Amino acid sequence: MIGWNALVLLAASSVAFAAPPPTPAPVPTPAQVMAIPPEIRAQLQERVIKVANSPEQRLHLLVELVFRPEGLGLEYDTEATLTVAETWQQRRANCLSFTLLFVALAREIGLEARMQEVGQVVSWYQDQGLIFNAGHVNVGMRVDGRQATLDLDSNVLYDRRGPQPINDSRALAHFYNNRGAEQLAAHDYASARAYFDAALRMDPRFVPAWSNLGVLESRENDLDASARDLETALSINRFHAPALHNATKLYQRMGDTRRVAQMQSRLEQVRKRDPFYQFMQGTTAERDGNYVLAAHYYREAVRLYGNAHQFHFGLARAYFLSGDNRLAMREMKRARDLGGDPMRAVYQSKLDGIRRLEARHAAR
């Protein structure tokens, strides 16, 4: 008995010296995410509601309050997935935080505002071994019978469907999923799980959260649970590229060659039809100095989505860098004609530069 007690005490002593697992920070409730602090309400009352009655004037004043330095002076930060109160306090936001803030404030002053979702945008990035599909949200407004879209990122390229209205629950699913992905990248798996679970309570069919939960289960070596999560994601959207990518990696790890081949085949189908994937492949080839390959991918992007001036500009660059000024000018003209007022002067200046270079070559 003495020996047994000593063994138990020794075991307990060794456990006492081990660092306890971190306690996950509490997940904010939907009400806490959207809550407008009293000081913001006071500013809205003084600087918007008392000053203007018409919806258009109130919208204009709200935009000034959010963006001007004497107001919030909001700055863009891709990593700032914040509640409404945190965004106001920290004066920074990503597209999601801005959308939550602006919709909440617009509704507070009596405007008709909604969240909007873009299925895909041109921005993809890789961080710590995780592939993030940078989906996008923005603000939809209805003012005096007219529709308007407000976007924090003026350079984002939408997919062909453009912004689609979503309900608040789905917007909050985006919030919780973003927070979960941040915790996953930081290896805080308990917090990541809590956020992914919250995202799925908001929207049980939110594919990105199922896909990210599958990655989490894989990192925790529960491969069967990971497979179930990823199959759930793909049962909702069988062509969701990040879920297909994650499923391919999982089945490779499990040694399931049949499933690997299925996932890779489906992922290849998706990529062949995805102008954004083709465009990003083009930018990679361009960075590597392979301008012929870059032009190939940019042509595919243009073939799939011919109205995107950014794709024509990429193709013009690839032609110019490979020495084909004639084709470079052709694509630069198309970029100019599609770019609209904000980009027309930029592209015209680049086009004039190529023409001057061609003229110097012709004069030799």
Q: How far apart are CA 173 and CA 115, in angstroms?
A: 12
Please check the confidence at residue 49 and state whether its pLDDT lies above 90. yes
* Distance of alpha carbon 158 from alpha carbon 276, whole angstroms: 10
SS3 assignment, position 114:
strand
> What radius of gyration, in Å, describes the C-alpha atoms of the chain?
25
Quick one: pLDDT band at residue 91, thresholds 50, 70, 90?
very high
Tally of helices (H runs) and strands (E runs) in the chain? 16, 8
Cα distances (angstroms) measured from residue 282 to each of 80, 130, 278, 291 = 29, 21, 6, 9
What are the tens digits of pLDDT across the range 220-241?
999 999 999 999 999 999 999 9
Pick from 103, 53, 43, 50: which is nearest to 73 by CA?
43
Return the exposure string of 29-39: e unless at least 16 CB atoms fall within 10 Å of the residue's CB, then b.
Answer: ebeebbebeee
Over residues 99-156, the pLDDT tens digits come to: 999 999 999 999 999 999 987 776 544 444 444 455 789 999 999 889 989 988 767 7
Which residue is associated with the tokens 């306690």? 23
159 against 347, higher pLDDT: 347
**71 phi/psi in degrees, rounded to 5:** -105, -125
pLDDT of 33 strictly over 50: yes
CA distance 17 to 34: 41
Q: What is the pTM of this model?
A: 0.84
Angle between helices 189-202 and 168-185 (to 10 degrees): 170
- The residue assigned the tokens 């032009």 is 295
Q: What is the mean pLDDT of residues 249-269?
A: 96
How far are the Cα atoms of 54, 212, 237, 314 from residue 242, in angstroms, in the given order?
44, 9, 11, 25
How far, in Å, CA of 67 to CA of 109, rounded?
A: 17
User: Which pLDDT score, from 0 to 100, does residue 22 have?
Assistant: 60
pLDDT of residue 123: 52
**Dist CA 148 CA 143 (whole Å):** 8
**In this model, does residue 175 exceed pLDDT 80?**
yes
Judge whether 180 and 212 are in contact, CB under 8 Å. Answer: yes
Mean of per-residue pLDDT scores for the chain: 88
Give the least confident one: 57-61, 151-155, 242-246: 151-155
pLDDT > 70: what percent of the chain? 89
Q: Which amino acid is at 158?
A: Y
Q: Do β-strands 92-93 and 75-76 pair in parallel, antiparallel, or remain unpaired?
A: parallel
46 confidence band (pLDDT: 50, 70, 90): very high
pLDDT digits (tens, 9 = 90+) for 267-310: 999 999 999 899 989 999 999 999 999 999 999 999 999 999 99
Rounded to an integer, what distance in angstroms lies between the CA atom of residue 73 and that of residue 231? 43
Average pLDDT over residues 160-185: 94
